[in-house]
Chains A and B, each alone.
Chain A
């Protein structure tokens, strides 16, 4: 099976000026294939966000290679990398990063800003996505009128709009109660079940996954489930 994400001995050290440097990733290797649902656990500050941002082409590592669908993304020009990201990778964050002045439908449609797509087709797909996430009745509401759990589902719908091959979720349940966490995780699993590759970073060790990994001081090790 082809790796959607192939992380090859990636290292990243933060070197803030005038302060001691932090090795956030230390020779991390990791692969996620299509249909896989993987979880990276770790304490706060262990490097989870750094790992996901590197995987998503937003944080260039100091060493190692990041291949997404076989493409070395840091060898692409920034323009091409942005386009590649728009086509191939979806993101979900702990702080949903919804745009406050756009309604739910418009928020879900924002990935269309990055790709020239037919408006009616985009809207159609956005509506389906919103319906799938059980928010069809809130289409024209602004994010501020939604519950926290609903907001994360909107963010998820947005991440999935362009039908990415890889979904990266950084603490997707970090702000959610148990019930809402369950809903979001279930949707991520569904996405994986339909052939998507999912990589979640979380400190919640209870999440079931195809493979669970533990990140500690920038080093990755498997967790026996």
Chain B
């Protein structure tokens, strides 16, 4: 989230699209209800199903699953055509006036530079025109045909209300009504908050769904404002924290890019990552990359990381290429992965195409499951009738299952989706011999370290030299770990302007990332968390919930990253002269000497408005990007592409170009393309989702949840039920080209057929929570059905739009 849960109460309009918080995030959703009650805010829902959130909305508009960009592109067109733009904001705080390389083109669904064979783009022309000093050229009048404003206007002019109706199946009047609601928040003192979740991310165009909304929020001037922003509701309680700590391949803690084969030494690596400002006088915060990166190497390898060895740059493994859950299972499927450690994750149930995942696991030599519960994954080798048809004798994988503690049995911090880090205390011991994840990881690591010391083996230096100053070596405490990733000074940190002034004494915990240095005198395991354990102690354990601003900022409750800031880009909540756009909801204002207000400034505290330092400090432009340059895989402007399994023959936006049918830059593995089904055999659009009583594949293990939702079901509309002779309560079989599931049919008015360009399209809704292990009735795994293809940028699988057929079982 750019904002936070309580801030939703400050909105004038709550647009829920790509999520269903009344069902999936009930206790956070109450802030939407609060806004309705106290501010007379409106709640608008756009979704394929008339869901729980829609049932309390002021307005609901249906759309076909997988057509969000067509809808949002239509909104952009509406705002431009009807002059519902917050002009002063867009002028000052976005790249609308920037001039783009004349080589940049868009024709028949493809941007310039497409390579069909590689399914990717040469992005050379997706850039700005630069002047002799390397700054982007701009045209303040927005008249130049190559300026971002003109290019954007032309790009979205094709997204007419008629086109939206044709692609999305949304009635034209409903679409226009939603546009009117949204357009009202172009007023400087009105805000819309966008709430979304996996309904946007789980598409082959997931990232561009979100980008498209970000563009809308910029055009309306809603970023940085109280009650505004782009708010990812997110999944697990600590999905934000685990993402921040980069438990994935492409990045290191704090979103630092991990080195790859293109990086030969630390010098060239740091130079490449240190961005140069694209406009004069901007903060260009990524210029500090070397300070963050060197401090991480120092946190991990301490004295062994010296200036002379490039701060042990070679100890950090270099990324080989794609590495994400889909590519990992594809590699495993090809027999290229021998071992697999699985920590609190149930991939057999949660990754696309269960059959492929199961076959992949059967090719492993060893697998280690660390989990508090007996998961489906840990028993992938065990037959459970038709729910899991396998022959153990044919599966040679050695499987270890290690019992771990649950939340109530460990201390430590979680970070919620509003980026607030909050400490938790331990209430009881775990059952039996179960251990904490930290003890398991530490013991395993120390065992390997000992074996390497005794017997030698492949490159053991990074193992032997890893810092390990924990009081009980096999049980690092959460307090020690938090202090470590916060970071400390190894030598006195002095003021860069006055070397006699010591800012932090050697040995002290660092108060903020502003103190990090690139000369090896500071350590920090995650720069964005710096400050969470300062000399003042554990700031995530602060429990003062007072809220003098009335905005719900609660600055002394826990600690938000970065530097306890609650609303990102908050400098943009004030006009260029420093006056709040809406004084009633002041987040920040210029006091004459410094920035003050109700949040930690997202700006140099003493940057006077006349200095023209712009609010989007992480961007070298200083402003936000309506045109994304080369930063997205499939283009600088979001474009509608059909899901990989679509009920349509062609992309209605580009009926003549089969290359532009589905995301041209999405990665498809050999064998998976063939496993896509077509509309002839599988005529219905399926979409998967969550229920309020269940959390993923976890709560089926808990008795009370199993009592509330005991059995797998699928939802279909009355019309389809009639066509197929299915009555409520019948058992049905749902098939995709990858397998089938059986479940109970729920026949509902909540799902209606769409009219897509004269063709009737039905939707089948499938909850995900069931499986063959747990306290519920045993069920099939929903992801038996889903396709093995993901978003072109994040590789999040396309769970929300694929094709099935349905019949009475």
- The reply to whether chain A is a binding partner of chain B is no
Q: Which residues of chain B have a CB within 8 Å of any CB of chain A?
A: none
Q: Which residues of chain A have a CB within 8 Å of any CB of chain B?
A: none
